[in-house]
Structure 1
């Protein structure tokens, strides 16, 4: 039986969730009998679709103590089936689109519906009808996500520009995918910045800081990532804006790219696990002992350590998600798709942070390091990429880096990731990473098809 890692990615959404621009939290809406509830849900899906996609968690409510289950759990979750959800969208969305619906278990084994809203639309989605009595949803209205977060109609030229730019980008991406089916190209590398000393020093400092934080933990503590880890680091070169320290949290929250349930550089806001300023940078470590109560338990894949400097430097270290699978011992598997998704998200984070932190063009020096590879077998553990056992790594660690223009990341993501990750995959008995696999997986990631 294939190991359903996708279910684990969705379960990550239920770990200390917080509403943001690409995540909406709703209580137990009666989507069968309550027309106001249907309109409320439809408005959220329309806004997320125009935002570029996202997720809706049902059955939860936000409190001062964090996100908890809402009152009124129904006897069954039949009212949140794929047919019910997409029937509402068919009634309200023009053009209509399809949402995936999953019933996902939280760590306490309670089940909640998770709706994955796609965002790869080639034109803005409008409301084809009004809500009951003309309330909640307006006929022919177009909704977008705004800070707060809120789902409202665009009212400024900037909001309209962002919406239309996203639609045009999706058309461009579709055209590029068609071209990639015909030829295999490569994105030109940016000119190498003079001297990597600052970047290398930053990486070494971040590793030393993480090692100091885990020094007092037991040798087999999962927060130490005893079976291995990977890290990404990048440096932005350009005309950096001067950001007052008090504005950094909001800027970093806007820079999070969420295509999966556990995005890189996630910025939690719950007391006790929130990032903190230290030595002139923003730091977050989810492996602190005090955090165990927030998550119920720790594992290496959810004990992120990251640092971001207002000088344009970023670092993220994370353990292997494969080591947390129930039916396979740790340090045995290496998933064939996860590096593509994780590094893709990290590169998109660099692109977005550059847009928020740099005036004008920006160059990105990006490095990725994997450790704890020796003895692992390359496999498709999510059930979509079945592989024969036997591709085993003998080398334990590898580091690769690239330098690209920030503006080229979104349009050329497959062409950047393929040469960056091909040497990693080759460690598994010369496995030749197909360009088609990279392109297809990144398209799945961007559509939210977990």
Structure 2
């Protein structure tokens, strides 16, 4: 966001401003409310709307603090909530304040006070009683017609519905139901054929720059939505649906690099393909971020999403990135983060549940594989784990199937069932649903 800044519906770029100015605070409150009502987002300071650097950099950045933005929210918006603020260092060595705006919950965020009035008595920046949303431009404006209110109302209802389901089923321990044999076989075939397709792409990546062999050091996470009537997503709307679901997933997991995100930049844009190399099969939206192996603008994810509700993503370990090696001081291929394993599994389960709900799926089957584990040691970005937890086995595959209401109400347990077996290979025997729940609040922070 600070090396390649650009405005989107989720990201608002702002030039340096005087945060003590009440008009500036009112304008910021409008953007904060709109981003929250959009499902969350970011405000990045120090840049013009076109992404160029604002040269009027202040001498110090102490006012860009959590307290400053907390006071703005408390004074001007309702219900009140907390924004996180980080100073993010760019590759050029400069720090930029980045404000993380969380999503609204069961109630949309509204303005409870006017901004300062101008000479004509009109409020500036924000108007009491108004609900703001993000609109193409991007802009933060008042919600007007149903096209503005519909996605906002849907998120509110979904949030309240999930809370109610959790209350009803809190005492229910979800069992891992083995998928029907036909489902097992079809998902396994999809998983393996997609992995073979990815391996062929890796072999053609002539300029591949990664510190370990990604053909053997990666994870692959797949799911299949099951319905008695079958899943049929119109090919023409698949990309739009994935964009919408991506925004909802961010209420649970938001890393800055989402799964199944259909980029539109030409060199990494998702595109429709036939399922099989001979041109047969159903339509599949495919995203190849490997390209020729040059990752200056991307990370080497590869994913496929079929119109009949099958999904897979192949992702090399982020621990093996050059930036991770430099930041952690450990060679690539030598460690694995439990939090990353659990967070990515959570993102998969959340994505599957939201897609299944949208297309009336009854259950979802999962198949998850982690490869290149032998010799890696449990560690993390913050050095939390004690040393010496080293895997001897090289690969772990987990499978399971759950009804869609269980994925909503007891997702901590579902994630534990899928992710903990791989961490058990490292001797991390206390991995559990409680451990997943303890980590969950960190899944919406970079």
The TM-score by the shorter chain falls in which range? 0.7 to 0.9
- TM-score (structure 1 length as normaliser): 0.82
Other-structure match for 2:234: 243
1:278 is matched with which residue? 273
Is the alpha carbon distance of 1:244 and 1:322 closer, same or farther for their aligned partners in structure 2, counting shifts above 3 Å? closer
Query: Structure 1 residues 421, 121: CA separation in 2 closer, same or farther (over 3 Å shift)?
Result: same
Q: What secondary structure, in the 3-state scheme, does the structure 2 residue paired with 1:215 have?
A: helix
Contact 2:27 2:125 (8 Å CA) reproduced: yes
In structure 1, how many angstroms separate the alpha carbons of the residues matched to 2:386 and 2:234? 51
Distance change (3 Å), C-alpha of 1:430 and 1:170: closer
Contact persistence 1:25–1:60 (CA under 8 A): no
Aligned to 2:19: 32
Give the superposition deviation at 1:345.
0.9
Change (3 A) 1:159 1:216: closer
SS in structure 2 of the partner of residue 289 of structure 1: coil
Q: CA offset at residue 333 of structure 1?
A: 1.3
**Higher relative contact order structure (alpha carbons within 8 Å, sequence separation ≥ 6):** 1
Q: Which moved more, 1:340-349 or 1:33-42?
A: 33-42
When structure 1 is superposed on structure 2, of 39-48 and 344-353 the one drifting more is 39-48
Q: 1:282 to 1:194 in 2, by over 3 A?
A: same
Q: More displaced, 251-260 or 308-317?
A: 251-260
Contact conserved, 2:365 with 2:402, CA < 8 A, in 1? Answer: yes
The aligned counterpart of 2:153 is: 161
Question: What's the offset of the Cα at 1:250?
Answer: 1.7
Partner of 2:347: 345
CA distance in 2, matches of 1:282, 1:368: 20
Alpha-carbon offset, residue 198 of structure 1: 2.4
The 5 Å alignment of 1:371-386 reads 371-383=371-383, 386=384
Contact 2:34-2:133 within 8 A present in 1 as well? yes
Contact 1:391 1:431 in 2 (8 A): no
Asked if the contact 2:16–2:54 (Cα under 8 Å) also holds between the matched residues in 1, the reply is no
Deviation at 1:244, TM superposition (A): 4.0
Higher mean alpha-carbon deviation, 317-326 vs 206-215, is at 317-326
Q: Any unmatched runs of 5+ in structure 2?
A: 118-122, 275-282
Match in the other structure for 2:320: 323
The 3 A distance-change label for structure 1 pair 29 and 215 is: same
Deviation at 1:430, TM superposition (A): 5.5
Find the aligned partners of 2:393 and 2:295 in 1 and give their Cα distance. 33
CA distance in 1, matches of 2:23, 2:438: 38
Structure 1 residue 131 and structure 2 residue 115: aligned?
Answer: yes
Match for residue 424 of structure 1?
Answer: 422
Question: What does 1:41-56 align with in structure 2 at a 5 Å threshold?
Answer: 41-56=28-43
The 2-side partners of 1:17 and 1:353 are apart by 30
Which runs of 5 or more structure 1 residues have no equivalent in the other structure?
1-12, 296-301
Q: 1:369 Cα deviation (Å)?
A: 0.7
How far apart are residue 72 of structure 1 and its match? 4.2
Task: Find the aligned partners of 1:167 and 1:252 in 2 and give their Cα distance.
Answer: 19
Distance in 2 (alpha carbons) for counterparts of 1:241 and 1:132: 52
Q: Supply the distance in 2 between the matched residues of 1:115 and 1:348 (Cα, whole angstroms).
A: 24
What RMSD over aligned residues (CA atoms) do the two structures have, in Å? 3.1
Q: How many residues are paired up?
A: 416
Equivalents in 1 of 2:197, 2:49: separation in Å? 33
Tell me, yes or no, if the aligned pair for 1:127 and 1:139 is still in contact at 8 Å: yes
Distance 1:255 1:93 in 2: 26
1:232 aligned onto 2:230: no
Q: How far 1:394 sits from its partner (Å)?
A: 0.2
Call closer, same or farther: CA 1:69–1:287 in 2, change over 3 Å: farther
Query: CA offsets per residue over residues 409-435 of structure 1, 9 Å max, x none?
Result: 232210111122221111113523133
- 1:254 aligned partner: 244
Q: Does structure 2 conserve the Cα–Cα contact (< 8 Å) formed by 1:186 and 1:416?
A: no
* Structure 1 residues 140 and 261: alpha-carbon distance in aligned structure 2, compared to 1, 3 A threshold: same
Indicate how the Cα distance of structure 1 residues 427 and 293 shifts in structure 2: closer, same or farther if over 3 A, else same. Answer: closer
TM-score of the aligned structures, taking structure 2 as reference length: 0.82
Query: 1:221 offset after TM fit, Å?
Result: 3.2
Instruction: Determine the C-alpha separation between the residues in 2 that align with 1:429 and 1:365.
Output: 27
> Is the CA contact (8 Å cut-off) linking 2:242 and 2:262 kept in structure 1?
yes
